[in-house]
Chain A
Amino acid sequence: MIPNLLAWLLRAIQFGTIIMFGSMGEILTEKSGNLNLGVPGIMYLGSFAGFASAYLYENHAENPVPFLCVVIALLCGFLASALGGLIYSFLTITLRANQNVTGLALTTFGMGMANFFGGFLLKGEVYTAAPISNAAFSAKIPFLSDHLGLFGDAVFSYGFLAYAAILLAVFLHVFLNKTRTGLNLRAVGENPATADAAGINVTKYKYLATVIGAGISGIGGLYYVLDYNNGIWATTGQVEALGWLAVALVIFTTWYPLNAIWGAYLFGMLYWLYNFLPKLIGVTNIDRTSSLWQMIPYIVTILVLVGVSLRRKRESQPPASLGLAYFREER
């Protein structure tokens, strides 16, 4: 019973970390009024660039240093996904293209790019791995994870990115709600004309939030390959499903980064429900219904959306100008 529960929790927190990065990046982006539906593609870019750079470093360096694996992978993963955000920004902010269409195109683009270049790494195999980087990313916290029993297992046995995600959520919360820059950013997403009249550089804020947001989202994809998936790059398209879950999580959090912490873990629990719940209650043979179980996070999101709409609390609505392009001299 207990080991099963613990395994469930561990899996849920690791799973949650992936989508927490994805949705925190998207929260930052959406706070600027940009609805970037390219999250799955961006996470694909981040996962591929992170994996590929680490893989190439591991295979070409004489003595790969684990620390450098981490730095290189993070840098490349962040930059590649930020580049995806930059493409999106240029199209929607500068050229004022439709945000939904652009986002969806970016998803397709990111998937295609990652799988195309991934083919060169796979060299005909079904999967390939970067074990040194995986070890570096998934290293547990030394001492604490071994000497505190179950508590140590439950709290200190994750790779460092799981903790970074929590810190980032807190940081984002403080940034958005307690700083002038955060206030200005929220104003841009709520009412760009007002922000503009107040002397805020709307274009700059939108660009920065979207590009950095995409970079953060991409880290989620990177964490998926190099930690959650044991450093294995394969031909399966799981990152896409995770990307959509991250978008759903943004709605679930009602755009509050702090909610992303527990929301992501809850999504993780719900997502893995099909694997652990039957074991816990002693049912076997549920394989055929696992897809149904995996729907639960989405159903919960819909319920939250319904609840939020019914309550009509102004603070938990999406940024008012979300999805709209801004043009100053429009009459």
Chain B
Amino acid sequence: MEDAIRLVGITKTFGQVRANRDISLTIRRGEILSLLGENGSGKTTLMNILSGIYFPDSGQVFVGGREVTIASPKDAFDLGIGMIHQHFKLVDVFTAAENIILGLPGERRGRLDMKAVEDKVRKICDRYGFDIEPDQKVYEMTVSQKQTLEIVKVLYRGADILILDEPTAVLTPQETEKLFAVMREMKKDGHAVVIITHKLHEVLSVSDRVSILRKGEYIGTVDTKDATELSLTEMMVGKKVTLDIERPAPENLVKRIEVKDLNVMGPEGVPVLKNVSFEAFGGEILGIAGISGCGQKELLEAVAGLTVPMAGSSITFFPPEKEDRPEQLVGRSPREIKEMGVHLSFVPEDRLGMGLVASMGMADNMMLKSYEKGSSFFVEKKNPREVAEKVKEELAVVTPSVSYPVRRLSGGNVQKVLVGREIAAAPAVLMTAYAVRGLDIGTSYQIYHLLNEQKKKGVAVIYVGEDLDVLIDLCDRILVLCAGQVTGIVDGRQATKEGIGLLMTKIAREDDGHRHLGHTEPGSENSTEGGAAHE
């Protein structure tokens, strides 16, 4: 088979983060290549380099055997490369046809012949059986139609190398099947098709070859017919690395949070959490694992009162010393929940984007969470300053003074401020998400240590993490989420990386209808087992 694209030694860094490190792979005509990897493994970055969105720091790109420079999306089009992005690149107030011809040179100068464009669009739609009206406005379209429009757009431009970035994330199983049929059709036409995904069953059902990336590095390429879910999972998550994180045995376990049948609807009308049930105990660290975007963030936000769950959901909090008087958290405001002692520290991808005000110092940032305290008209500055000094000292935050803008602190110190602020409030439940995101190893260990300290104090710690090795070594129990559902709750001391890896892709693997609902049950049973074991 003819090589469509050959990548040699591609490296791309964003600030400190190496998104791609020396990646080489080949895309062939007349076949479907899967690019498999966890979130953050660099799949999208790599393909964005091909589509001209990013420019590589080093490495070569060969298209049709000729070395090329892709400096802009336009260069990519000229080479016949079309990418369908995960987040649709469509103008809402334009019609389908207007979106399709965007940026294209006209047949002739002057007025544009919308009629001819619409006819050509209809022809493509008929060829592949798409249901799109050229004069329909994008804001009236369903998610699936928008995606179809993206594909039509790329085909209209005559692309023969198509890259689809997690195209099935927003589709129903039926729509996914339809998309796969289209992809096979395109393959038959001699196009090269690349699908970026982390769903194993899709890889196995649609692709001819699989290339695997992990943490920005190229792991290898296998023929799909020789691959199994287990072999792919192993390549995707890698071998277990022993980290030697301390893990004190849990003591004096007390039930703090009980979540039952938690359902949350996402902004696009798609459920992001489905019948989630679990318990969290004071004196233990409960890890939450899952491919990113599987509902981890929504779960924490629901507990913290930032998202409103659907009717029938129940989150019960058992306050310390008053365990016999449980409180229902659903329906409470975030502030009420916080005052009860349930604290959330969330480290977003962009650390300073959420939770801290970059240009204010530590003391003022402490105050953000306590501004309502104090009775005078003027803000109370003394207490926050003391708290900040205490956090600075206890967590060894490196800063010239507590009024030094946090924007100028290093990432690790910013995160210590973020976590430290919640710890300073002496919470009963401490939820952290991505607390070590982007940190070096030494600083990460300091954060783990902080969490362990809290655990020893009897706090119920909920830790959402990305790194499986850390989760397995740090957490007492690990809850695995997949596509908004609990696929299992495992004991951290006995968990294996492959086991969790499989649970992380479990629903996706059998996501072909309503059957998967049955698989939630073992998960929730596990959770009660886990709870029973502690009691």
Min C-beta distance of B56 to chain A, whole Å = 12
Q: Scoring B residues 73 to 107 as 1 if CB is less than 8 Å from chain A, else 0, what string do you get?
A: 11011000001010001111110001101111110
- Contact: A180 with B92, CB < 8 Å? no
- List residues of chain A with CB within 8 A of the CB of B74: 199, 201
**Bound-complex Cα distance A317 to B92 (A):** 12
- Contact: B102 with A194, CB < 8 Å? yes
* A193 interface hit (Cβ, 8 Å): yes
- Contact: B111 with A200, CB < 8 Å? no
At the interface with chain B, which of A50-58, A184-192, A297-305?
A184-192
**Bound-complex Cα distance A259 to B463 (A):** 57
- Contact: B102 with A193, CB < 8 Å? no
Q: Which of B72, B103, B139 has the most CB of A within 10 A?
A: B103
- List residues of chain B with CB within 8 A of the CB of A187: 91, 94, 102-103
- Contact: A197 with B92, CB < 8 Å? no
Min C-beta distance of B531 to chain A, whole Å = 40
- List residues of chain A with CB within 8 A of the CB of B14: 329, 331
Residue of B nearest to A183 (CB): B98
- Contact: A199 with B77, CB < 8 Å? yes
**Bound-complex Cα distance A199 to B158 (A):** 14
Determine which of B99, B106, B139, B349 lies in contact with A180 in the assembled complex, contact meaning CB atoms within 8 Å. B106
- Contact: B93 with A183, CB < 8 Å? no
- Contact: B53 with A179, CB < 8 Å? no
Q: How many residues of A contact B (CB 8 A)?
A: 26
- List residues of chain A with CB within 8 A of the CB of B102: 183-184, 187, 194-195, 198, 200
- List residues of chain B with CB within 8 A of the CB of A178: 111-112
- Contact: A197 with B89, CB < 8 Å? yes
Q: Scoring B residues 27 to 67 as 1 if CB is less than 8 Å from chain A, else 0, what string do you get?
A: 00000000000000000000000010110000000000000
* A153 interface hit (Cβ, 8 Å): no
- List residues of chain B with CB within 8 A of the CB of A317: 93
**Bound-complex Cα distance A197 to B51 (A):** 8
* A315 interface hit (Cβ, 8 Å): yes
- List residues of chain A with CB within 8 A of the CB of B110: 179
Q: Scoring B residues 411 to 422 as 1 if CB is less than 8 Å from chain A, else 0, what string do you get?
A: 000000000000
Residue of A nearest to B19 (CB): A331
* B137 interface hit (Cβ, 8 Å): yes
* A60 interface hit (Cβ, 8 Å): no
Determine which of A183, A195, A320 lies in contact with B112 in the assembled complex, contact meaning CB atoms within 8 Å. A183
- Contact: B72 with A199, CB < 8 Å? yes
- List residues of chain A with CB within 8 A of the CB of B51: 197
Min C-beta distance of A149 to chain B, whole Å = 39
- Contact: A196 with B101, CB < 8 Å? no
- Contact: A194 with B89, CB < 8 Å? yes
Q: Scoring A residues 152 to 178 as 1 if CB is less than 8 Å from chain B, else 0, what string do you get?
A: 000000000000000000000010001
Determine which of A195, A198, A314 lies in contact with B139 in the assembled complex, contact meaning CB atoms within 8 Å. A314
- Contact: B103 with A179, CB < 8 Å? no
- List residues of chain B with CB within 8 A of the CB of A198: 73, 89, 102-104
- Contact: B92 with A190, CB < 8 Å? yes
* A123 interface hit (Cβ, 8 Å): no
Q: How many residues of B contact A (CB 8 A)?
A: 31
* A328 interface hit (Cβ, 8 Å): yes
- Contact: A191 with B91, CB < 8 Å? yes
With known contacts A199-B77, A314-B137, A193–B94 Cβ distance under 8 A: no
Residue of B nearest to A328 (CB): B53
- Contact: B73 with A199, CB < 8 Å? yes
- Contact: B73 with A196, CB < 8 Å? yes
Determine which of B72, B76, B91, B112 lies in contact with A194 in the assembled complex, contact meaning CB atoms within 8 Å. B91
With known contacts A190-B92, A314-B93, A197–B111 Cβ distance under 8 A: no
**Bound-complex Cα distance A182 to B474 (A):** 57
**Bound-complex Cα distance A106 to B53 (A):** 33
- List residues of chain B with CB within 8 A of the CB of A314: 92-93, 137, 139
- List residues of chain B with CB within 8 A of the CB of A180: 101, 104-106, 112
- Contact: A200 with B103, CB < 8 Å? yes
Residue of B nearest to A329 (CB): B54
**Bound-complex Cα distance A186 to B51 (A):** 23
Q: Scoring A residues 315 to 331 as 1 if CB is less than 8 Å from chain B, else 0, what string do you get?
A: 10100100000001101
Min C-beta distance of B460 to chain A, whole Å = 33
**Bound-complex Cα distance A210 to B381 (A):** 46
- List residues of chain A with CB within 8 A of the CB of B111: 174, 178-179
Q: Scoring A residues 89 to 128 as 1 if CB is less than 8 Å from chain B, else 0, what string do you get?
A: 0000000000000000000000000000000000000000
**Bound-complex Cα distance A186 to B101 (A):** 13
- List residues of chain A with CB within 8 A of the CB of B53: 196-197, 328-329
Min C-beta distance of A237 to chain B, whole Å = 35
**Bound-complex Cα distance A328 to B72 (A):** 10
**Bound-complex Cα distance A183 to B90 (A):** 13
- List residues of chain A with CB within 8 A of the CB of B94: 183, 186-187, 190
Min C-beta distance of B78 to chain A, whole Å = 8
**Bound-complex Cα distance A317 to B51 (A):** 31
Kindly identify, within residues 348 to 375 of chain B, every residue whose CB is under 8 Å from any CB belonging to chain A.
349
Residue of B nearest to A320 (CB): B92
Q: Which of A183, A184, A200 has the most CB of B within 10 A?
A: A183
Min C-beta distance of A314 to chain B, whole Å = 5
Determine which of B91, B104, B105, B112 lies in contact with A190 in the assembled complex, contact meaning CB atoms within 8 Å. B91
- List residues of chain A with CB within 8 A of the CB of B105: 180
Determine which of B77, B93, B349 lies in contact with A315 in the assembled complex, contact meaning CB atoms within 8 Å. B93
- List residues of chain B with CB within 8 A of the CB of A186: 91, 94
Residue of A nearest to B87 (CB): A193
Residue of A nearest to B55 (CB): A329
Determine which of A183, A190, A197 lies in contact with B73 in the assembled complex, contact meaning CB atoms within 8 Å. A197
- List residues of chain A with CB within 8 A of the CB of B104: 180, 198-199
Min C-beta distance of A209 to chain B, whole Å = 16
**Bound-complex Cα distance A329 to B77 (A):** 19
- List residues of chain B with CB within 8 A of the CB of A331: 14, 349
Residue of B nearest to A182 (CB): B112
Kindly identify, within residues 121 to 146 of chain B, every residue whose CB is under 8 Å from any CB belonging to chain A.
137, 139
**Bound-complex Cα distance A152 to B237 (A):** 83
- Contact: B93 with A195, CB < 8 Å? no
Q: A183-B102, A187-B91, A195-B91 are in contact. List 20 more A-B contacts (CB 8 A).
A: A178-B112, A179-B111, A183-B94, A183-B98, A183-B112, A190-B94, A191-B90, A195-B102, A197-B51, A197-B73, A198-B102, A198-B103, A199-B76, A199-B103, A314-B93, A314-B137, A320-B92, A320-B93, A329-B54, A331-B349
The 10 closest A-B pairs by CB, nearest first: A199-B74, A198-B103, A194-B89, A198-B102, A200-B103, A199-B103, A197-B89, A190-B91, A180-B106, A199-B73
18 A–B pairs (Cβ distance < 8 Å), ordered by A: A178-B111, A179-B110, A179-B111, A179-B112, A190-B92, A191-B91, A194-B89, A194-B90, A197-B53, A197-B89, A199-B72, A199-B73, A199-B74, A199-B76, A314-B92, A314-B139, A328-B53, A329-B53
